[in-house]
Amino acid sequence: QVQLVESGGGLVQAGGSLRLSCATSRRTFSSYTMGWFRQAPGKEREFVAAIRRSGDSTYYADSVKGRFTISRDNAKNTVYLQMSSLKPEDTAVYYCAAGNDIVVRRSVDYWGQGTQVTVSS
């Protein structure tokens, strides 16, 4: 059974920063592209960022480009999402994702349980 365990969400003021973490098994981490999605109340889940297995290619939604950074630590089997210059519209539940085709088709094989990020104005 594949498990993706997220942490790091919370409440932050606009302009602040947060770092999300997602830990999984070595097998999962080495097999899949890892990514982050988010879902705000009343909205559909949307792509935020992804990083390929090699770690040499990253992808971002236009809405977060320049503010968020995705990275992976192969020694810890963990993917991170560093979020800076946060805005109230970044408020959402953030989900870690693992899949073979996240980048092109936004196809996800496994989801984490989600972690709440709330940005106050």
**Whole-number pLDDT of residue 119:** 98
Q: What is the pLDDT of residue 78?
A: 97
**pLDDT at position 2, please?**
86
Residue 55 pLDDT: 87
Q: What is the mean pLDDT of each run of 10 residues along the chain (121 residues)?
A: 93 98 93 96 97 93 98 95 98 97 92 97 93
Contacts 24+ apart (CB under 8 A), 3-6: 4/28, 4/96, 4/97, 4/98, 4/110, 4/111, 4/112, 4/113, 5/112, 5/113, 6/94, 6/95, 6/96, 6/112, 6/113, 6/114, 6/115
**What's the sign of the alpha-carbon dihedral 12, 14, 16, 18?**
positive
